[in-house]
C-alpha cells in the first residue's frame, strides 16, 4: 500500500464542505497529537457559489460544478482524492429543540443499561417537512434535579436526560445531497452553520458558560446559543452581506462587483467626524450608461451600510427573545462570517445588544492557509473540528439517521465512553 493510499484510507481523515451563498469551500484535515490534540489542515479549496440562493439549490448542475471545483482544489493541495464529505446546512431554516426523558431507577443505582433505556426513548418532536439530522446529550439529572455529566454508578431513584435535537428541511438536505452525488461524492452527515461556527470560534469557557454566535453570511445570518458545551438554540435570518452590497448598488448607482469591493475596502458601520472630508472615488453608471468616476464622501457609504446592519441585529435580538428558557447569564456574543469583517461592526453590535462582543476567528487548527484564518471561514473550520472531536455521545450514521438508529454498536460505545 502506498503512503498516499494509506493516508486516504485513514479513519482520522475528514473532508468538510461549506456550501455558502457566495462561495463553496472545502477543507481536508486530520488530528495530530503533540502535547495536546490539535487539528492539522491538509488541503483547502474554494470556488464561487453558483446555482444556490438563501441556502436552497436553484440550479443543480451549477452548484454541483462549484462543489467539484472546490473539492478539486483541496484534493490537489492534500495530494490524494476523497470520497465522503461532511456538509454545512444553513438553508431551510434549521431548528433546534430540547426534550427531557425520564426513567425510574429500579435498584437505586444507575447502570449502563439504564443509560441505554433512557436514550432509547424516542421522545422527540416530529416536524413536518423536516428531518432529524443530529442529536446529543446535554445533561443528566438526578431525582433532586442535580445535573451530572456521567450518572453511571450514582445512586438515585430517578434519572432524567436532556437531549438536543437538530432538524433540517428535507428538500434542502435532499438537493444538497444530489448535488454532492453528481460530484461522485457521498454525504456522511450535516452540521448546521451556527453550530459549526460556534465550535470553531468559541473558547471552552464560552461554550460551557454560555455565549451567542452570529454568523453573518452572504444571504443568511445564522444564530446559535451555546450552553454546557452544546448548542441549545438555533435560528436564521434571510438577510446577509449581499443585501448590504445591494444597498450600496442602489444608493451609489454603481455595479455589484464595484459595490462589493467598496464595501470590503471602505465599508464601516460607524461614522467618524473626519468621514465627511474623506472622498472616495466611486465608479458609477452615468445617465448615458457609461462608467464614470465620482467623488463621494465616506460618510455617505457608512450611512448606507449602518441601517442594514442595525436591521440584522434587531432581527437577531427578536429571534433570541423567543427562547422560552433563555439563560439570564449569557452576556457574550461572537460575530463571524464574512460580514464580521466590516469595520467597527463589533462596536455597533455592542451598542445594539448591550453585551460583550468580539470578532470570532478559527481557533484550534494548525497549518491552516492564511486566507482561512478569518471570520469568513468560521463555519468551514468548525465543520472539521466537529468531525474530529471525540464527543461523549454517539453520532448519527447517515444524514437521515438519529441517535436511535445506532444501537447496533451501542455496546462498544458504552465501553469506550462510560
pLDDT in tens, 65-74: 999 999 999 9
State whether 142 and 261 are in the same domain.
Answer: no
pLDDT exceeds cutoff 70 at 231: yes
CA torsion 334→336→339→343, rounded to 10°?
A: 60
State whether 334 and 404 are in the same domain.
Answer: no
State whether 100 and 165 are in the same domain.
Answer: yes
pLDDT exceeds cutoff 70 at 404: no
State whether 251 and 329 are in the same domain.
Answer: yes
Q: Is residue 415 in a domain?
A: no
Rounded distance between C-alpha atoms, residue 306 and residue 138, angstroms: 38
Domain of residue 150 covers 95-169+399-408
Q: DSSP state, 337?
A: S
Q: Is residue 60 in a domain?
A: no
| Whether the predicted model's global pTM rises above the 0.75 cut | yes
Q: Is residue 46 in a domain?
A: no
State whether 212 and 135 are in the same domain.
Answer: no
Helices (H), 328-407: 345-353, 378-388
Rounded distance between C-alpha atoms, residue 284 and residue 385, angstroms: 44
Q: Is residue 49 in a domain?
A: no
Low-confidence winner among 4-8, 206-210, 275-279, 366-370 (lowest mean pLDDT): 4-8
State whether 118 and 241 are in the same domain.
Answer: no
Domains identified in the chain, total number: 2
State whether 357 and 212 are in the same domain.
Answer: yes
State whether 155 and 230 are in the same domain.
Answer: no
State whether 209 and 356 are in the same domain.
Answer: yes
CATH number for the domain spanning 310: value is 3.30.420.40
CATH number for the domain spanning 146: value is 3.30.1490.110
Express each pLDDT in 108-129 by its tens digit: 899 999 888 888 776 677 889 9
Q: Is residue 274 in a domain?
A: yes
Q: Is residue 102 in a domain?
A: yes
Rounded distance between C-alpha atoms, residue 307 and residue 244, angstroms: 9
State whether 137 and 253 are in the same domain.
Answer: no
Rounded to whole angstroms, what are the CA distances from 21 to 85, 200, 201, 244, 357? 18, 20, 21, 14, 25
State whether 254 and 308 are in the same domain.
Answer: yes
State whether 358 and 267 are in the same domain.
Answer: yes
Q: Is residue 100 in a domain?
A: yes
Q: Is residue 122 in a domain?
A: yes
Residue 42: pLDDT band with limits 50, 70, 90 = very high
Amino acid at each position: 500500500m502506498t503512503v498516499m493510499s494509506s493516508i486516504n484510507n485513514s479513519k482520522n481523515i475528514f473532508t468538510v464542505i461549506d456550501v455558502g451563498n457566495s462561495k463553496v469551500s472545502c477543507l481536508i484535515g486530520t488530528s495530530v497529537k503533540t502535547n495536546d490534540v490539535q487539528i492539522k489542515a491538509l488541503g483547502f479549496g474554494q470556488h464561487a457559489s453558483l446555482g444556490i440562493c438563501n441556502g436552497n439549490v436553484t440550479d443543480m448542475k451549477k452548484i454541483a460544478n462549484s462543489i467539484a471545483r472546490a473539492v478539486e482544489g483541496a484534493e490537489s493541495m492534500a495530494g490524494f482524492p476523497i470520497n465522503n464529505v461532511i456538509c454545512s446546512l444553513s438553508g431551510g431554516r434549521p431548528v433546534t429543540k430540547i426534550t427531557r426523558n425520564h426513567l425510574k431507577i429500579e435498584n437505586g443505582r444507575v447502570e449502563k443499561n439504564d443509560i441505554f433505556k433512557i436514550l432509547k426513548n424516542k421522545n422527540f418532536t416530529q416536524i413536518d417537512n423536516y428531518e432529524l439530522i443530529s442529536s446529543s446529550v446535554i445533561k443528566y439529572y438526578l431525582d433532586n434535579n442535580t445535573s451530572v455529566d456521567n450518572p453511571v454508578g450514582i445512586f438515585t431513584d430517578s434519572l432524567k436526560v436532556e437531549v438536543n435535537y437538530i432538524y433540517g428541511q428535507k428538500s434542502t438536505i435532499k438537493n444538497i445531497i444530489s448535488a454532492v452525488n453528481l460530484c461522485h461524492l457521498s454525504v456522511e452527515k450535516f452540521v448546521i452553520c451556527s453550530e459549526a461556527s460556534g465550535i470553531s470560534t468559541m473558547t471552552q469557557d464560552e461554550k460551557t458558560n454560555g455565549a451567542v454566535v452570529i454568523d453573518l453570511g452572504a444571504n443568511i445570518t445564522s444564530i446559535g446559543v451555546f450552553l454546557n458545551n452544546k448548542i441549545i438554540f438555533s435560528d436564521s435570518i434571510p438577510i446577509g452581506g449581499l443585501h448590504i452590497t445591494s444597498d450600496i448598488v442602489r444608493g451609489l448607482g454603481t455595479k455589484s462587483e464595484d459595490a462589493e469591493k467598496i464595501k470590503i475596502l471602505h465599508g464601516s458601520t460607524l461614522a467618524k467626524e473626519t468621514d465627511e472630508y474623506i472622498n472616495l472615488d466611486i465608479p458609477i453608471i452615468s445617465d448615458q450608461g457609461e462608467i464614470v468616476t465620482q467623488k463621494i464622501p465616506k460618510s455617505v457609504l457608512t450611512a448606507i451600510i449602518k441601517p442594514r446592519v442595525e436591521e440584522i441585529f434587531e432581527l437577531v435580538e427578536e429571534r433570541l427573545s423567543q427562547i422560552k428558557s433563555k439563560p439570564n447569564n449569557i452576556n457574550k456574543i461572537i460575530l463571524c462570517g464574512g460580514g464580521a469583517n466590516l469595520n467597527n461592526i463589533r462596536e455597533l453590535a455592542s451598542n445594539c445588544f448591550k453585551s460583550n462582543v468580539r470578532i470570532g476567528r478559527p481557533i484550534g487548527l494548525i497549518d491552516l492557509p492564511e486566507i482561512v484564518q478569518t471570520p469568513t471561514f468560521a463555519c468551514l473550520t468548525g465543520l472539521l473540528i466537529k468531525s474530529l472531536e471525540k464527543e461523549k455521545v454517539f453520532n448519527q450514521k447517515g444524514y437521515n439517521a438519529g441517535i436511535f438508529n445506532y444501537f447496533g454498536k451501542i455496546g462498544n460505545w458504552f465501553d469506550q465512553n462510560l
